[in-house]
Amino acid sequence: MKKFILPSLFTLFIVAVISISANGGTDMNKQATTKDDLSHLTEEQKAITLHGGTEPPFKNAYWNEKRDGIYVDVINGKPLFSSTDKFDSGTGWPSFTRPIQDNFVKDEVDTKYGMVRTEVKSAETDSHLGHVFNDGPAEAGGLRYCINSASLRFIPKEKMEKEGYGEYLVLFDEE
């Protein structure tokens, strides 16, 4: 019986370690990894992320945020955008030239309101983030990710290590 239990426990331990590593650790400041637990969201965050809403320009948390840091998915804490790629588009919403990693977001065709636009969603939670347009800075690839503040949580650079995002501090290394 012991010969069966010990290898089984060891296997479970290895699977748990691999799972934790694949999910970026177990930091408790990060939110749930799925849309199962949404109790931490405000009504506005739910309206935007779950129902494709849009917050008013210039009346949102991050449109004029100037500090260094990263912007994470408000649902699951996945890093999505960096202040190093943020620029003032004059639109009243946070605008970025690119996501931290392309596969952290996904694009879908949005035909609401009689327009054809490209909607940006979180790849993991399928939540609405905003839209991407091809009128961004040419020297940075020409894209403008126009993102709702309510779909994000800002992590200032000085708090990134403590909140479990230390691996992303390299984004701020001077070249």
What pLDDT is recorded for position 18? 35
pLDDT score of 79 more than 60 = yes
Is the pLDDT at 75 greater than 60, yes or no?
A: yes
Q: Is the pLDDT of residue 21 over 60?
A: no
Strand order in the sheet with 144-147: 86-87, 95-96, 144-147, 128-133, 117-122, 105-110
Write down the domain spans for the chain.
1-29, 31-161
- Dump pLDDT digits (tens) for 151-166: 999 999 999 999 999 9
CATH code reported for the domain at 31-161: 2.170.150.20
Catalytic residues: 146
Nearest one of 81, 101, 51, 67 to 149, comparing CA atoms: 81
**pTM for this model (two decimals):** 0.79
